[in-house]
């Protein structure tokens, strides 16, 4: 069994459901220390974070990832126990195989080989690992980045090991992500009897015209890297449950995924102006999960594309599709950020899995990226 597979299985066997780490970072710290990394354990709230760095000179290349995983759901629905990593016909099953303990194992073994061949490499290598990516993400990468910024420690290039691949490992590089802003909107009305609507004010009726406009609005055209901004309602709640009562309040939860063609400030202003225009009485609570970011063609993208061509023999595709990642906390510091990891077909699902050979390929690609940037 290869070092990559052995480490992946060791990490997967630890039931680190967010925000638990269950000793994953201690295991990584031991491996990294042996390579000459200086290790810091940074705990904020109930979140464990690891910052490890080898070297003091720039440029600084950082591997970023998370040891926490999403809950398994009923384990009886799994083909194999989710925290008992099992290989069946060349496929490794277990929670976190793809998202993203497999990637972390590949990062570590890539570094081990690279440092063995280039002990005096240029620049520095770092690992930023958190146990708070799958949860609220309040005490994880964002807090580590704040710590680094406060001491003026700058990441130049960052590779996040999120599962980016679609049909074949490394066929897609994520070089950006859309921003995400959520909203909880409370429309105020006046409760009353449905037979006497003139004595009440139905908040659902008040909001209905606004909702129609929100769903039909084209927020922007997108650009060459991003599709247009989207609006989606995720929850509407109102009423007492009785058929003869006009509700006194309606709560609507919705989300925007926005491109670099629109800012979160513009979205807030347009929504609130629309509510005011329709004289809706409301309370509104916005929650910005992350700004849109983009890493255009440069050293990191080129080094990653070259490494994939060298190992896999094909040209890869740049994409900004999908949800958010911790790259949204790192990119605003000025770092170039890409995401590259295993296939995402089974992430967060029952029977999450990766092909064992894909892990070997990914580790080789990571090593070649280090070669392309730091030698």
Name the token pair of 213: 């406009």
CB atoms closer than 10 angstroms to residue 317: 14
End-to-end CA distance of the chain: 29
From the list 99, 133, 206, 367, the catalytic residue is: 133
Distance CA 162, CA 159 (A): 9
Whether 68 sits among the annotated catalytic residues: the reply is yes
Pairing relationship of beta strands 336-339 and 157-160 according to DSSP bridges: parallel
Residues 6+ apart with CB under 8 A from 297: none
Chain centroid offset of residue 210 CA:
31
Whether 133 sits among the annotated catalytic residues: the reply is yes
3-state secondary structure of 77: helix
From the list 20, 48, 68, 339, the catalytic residue is: 68
Chain centroid offset of residue 37 CA:
25
The closest alpha carbon to 306, from 262, 248, 370, belongs to: 370
Distance CA 278, CA 255 (A): 21
DSSP state of 67: -
CA separation, residue 266 to residues 181, 272, 292, 320 (Å)? 11, 10, 13, 21
23 in Cβ contact with 14 (< 8 Å): yes
| Helix, strand, coil percentages for the chain (3-state, nearest 5) | 35, 30, 40
Backbone angles phi, psi at 325, to 5 degrees: -145, 175
Prior bond of 19 cis (ω within 30°) = yes
The closest alpha carbon to 104, from 54, 29, 157, belongs to: 29
The closest alpha carbon to 9, from 129, 106, 140, 124, belongs to: 106
Reported as type and span, the H/E element at residue 159 is strand 157-160
Residues annotated catalytic, as ranges: 68, 133
């Amino acid at each position: 069994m290869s070092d990559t597979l052995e480490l992946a299985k060791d990490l997967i066997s630890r039931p680190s459901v967010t925000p638990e780490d269950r000793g994953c970072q201690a295991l990584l710290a031991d491996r990294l220390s042996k390579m000459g990394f200086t290790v810091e354990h940074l705990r904020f709230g109930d979140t464990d974070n690891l910052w490890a760095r080898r070297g003091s000179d720039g440029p600084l290349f950082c591997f970023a990832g998370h040891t926490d995983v999403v809950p398994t759901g009923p384990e009886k629905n799994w083909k194999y126990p989710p925290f008992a990593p099992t290989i069946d016909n060349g496929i490794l099953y277990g929670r976190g195989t793809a998202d993203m303990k497999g990637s972390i194992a590949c990062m570590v073994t890539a570094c081990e080989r690279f440092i063995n061949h280039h002990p005096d490499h240029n620049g520095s290598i770092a690992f930023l690992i958190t146990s708070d990516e799958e949860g609220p993400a309040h005490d994880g990468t964002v807090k580590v980045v704040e710590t680094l910024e406060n001491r003026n420690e700058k990441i130049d290039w960052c590779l996040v090991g999120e599962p980016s691949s679609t049909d074949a490992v490394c066929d897609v590089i994520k070089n950006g992500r859309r921003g995400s802003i959520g909203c909880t909107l409370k429309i105020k009305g006046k409760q009353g009897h449905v037979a006497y609507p003139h004595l009440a004010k139905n908040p659902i009726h008040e909001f209905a015209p606004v909702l129609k406009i929100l769903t039909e609005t084209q927020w922007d055209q997108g650009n060459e890297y991003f599709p247009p901004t989207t609006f989606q309602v995720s929850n509407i709640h109102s009423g007492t449950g009785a058929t003869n009562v006009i509700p006194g309040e309606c709560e609507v939860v919705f989300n925007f995924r926005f491109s670099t063609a629109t800012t979160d400030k513009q979205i807030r202003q347009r929504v609130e102006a629309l509510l005011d225009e329709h004289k809706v009485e409301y309370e509104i609570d916005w929650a910005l999960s992350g700004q849109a970011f983009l890493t255009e063609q440069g050293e990191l993208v080129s080094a990653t594309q070259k490494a994939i061509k060298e190992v896999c023999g094909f040209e890869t595709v740049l994409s900004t599709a999908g949800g958010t990642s911790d790259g949204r906390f790192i990119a605003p510091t000025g770092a170039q950020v890409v995401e590259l990891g295993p296939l995402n077909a089974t992430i967060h699902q029952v029977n999450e899995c990766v092909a064992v050979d894909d892990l070997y390929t990914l580790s080789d690609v990571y090593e070649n990226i280090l070669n392309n940037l730091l030698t």
